[in-house]
Structure formats: structure tokens, C-alpha cells
Amino acid sequence: MASRPELILASASPRRLALLNQIGIDPEHLLPAHVDETPEKGELPRKLASRLSDLKALTAQHKARQAGIGANALVLAADTVVAVGRRILPKAETMEEASFCLNLLSGRSHRVFTGLTVLTPSGRKRHRLVETRIRFKRLSTREMEAYLASAEWRDKAGGYAIQGIAGAFVVKLTGSYSAVVGLPLHETVALLAGDGYPVHFNWLNQSSLTGV
């Protein structure tokens, strides 16, 4: 009988870990995959999200094998890209970058692409790309200045965190909210369950622990 597969999350993002925990999943290993996220020349946003999620998964699997861990583990990786048209917005690291993003997003619609990749121990890859459309209200100078002062934008794709203060800027969202936060939960459960990870068993355990 095959042993229960483990799960490696190829991310250091507390948001992605919290989303997994929300659906009753606690990865056995956290192996952040630090890769060059610079878009290739002419690369479209959806292609970038897909390529980076694949690259992160492969990088984490290689690190796990070098460390001698997770021999029977699935590797889960994701990458989120914010775009206005064909323009890829940066992961804001400075106030200038965040200000640029907010001015571009104000009063306009944009798209968030989240690539999701699962690698099996044998190296088989399963992939999904989730697209979410979002429209921001027109931001006043005061709102922009206050948001920039909050520093919530730091290290966030597109210079904002929808699960935080910036949630108040969203007029309309079509698609997956959790994908914008960093991990599309519907697709994550489908991929993991399809590769034998006991997602629903964890739910049963969780209900017995909480007395539901």
C-alpha cells in the first residue's frame, strides 16, 4: 500500500500558507523557491505567471531532493501577476513603484493572473492558470497618500493587498478572490486531490477536533 503523500509548499508567503490552512491543509515542508521573476522580452502576463509557478515548483523539488526530504511529496507552487492590458505591474518594493501602480489602477479595470503548479514525486506536472478581473474606484489624492503611508503595498504584486485596506478600493471582482490573495483554493483542492493528497480526510479530522 502506497504511503500517504506529503506536501511541500514552494513559497515563503504567509498569505499562501494561511489560505492552505483555511482549507484544512498544513504542508509538511515549506521550501521557498527564490527565482528570477524578471519578465522575458515581450512576455505576456499570463505566460509569466505560468512560467514562474512552474519554475518555483521545479526549484523547490530540486532543493527537497538535495536535502533528502519529501521523497513521496507533492510540490505546490503559485505565482501571481497583476496587469493592465499587456503591461505587467511590478511587485512594489519602493514607494515610487507603489505610487505608480496606484495611479495606473485608479478608476480602471485590471487583471490578476495566478499560475498554479503541482509536481508529483515522479516529476509529472499539473498546471492551472486562473484569471480574475478587478475594477478599482477612482482614488483621491488623500486615499493614495494614506495607503502609501500604511506600507501595506510593500512586496505586493501591483502594489496592493486585496485582503487588507485595499479591499475598500474594489468596485467589482469577477473570478477568484483567493487567487488574488495568492492561491486559488478551488483549483488547489482539485489538483491535490487528483494526485492523491488526502484533502477531504483532513477536513474530517478537523471537524472531529473542533467538535462540529
Q: What amino acid positions are annotated as catalytic residues?
A: 79
Count CB-CB contacts under 10 A for residue 181. Answer: 22
Q: How far apart are CA 170 and CA 112, in angstroms?
A: 13
Residue 22 corresponds to which amino acid?
Answer: Q
Q: Which three cell numbers stand for residue 191?
A: 489538483
Q: Spell out where 29-95 has E strands.
A: 29-30, 73-84, 87-88
Q: DSSP secondary-structure letter at 192?
A: H
Phi, psi at residue 46, to the nearest 5°? -65, -35
Strands 125-136 and 6-9, sheet pairing: unpaired
Query: Beta partners for 170?
Result: 136
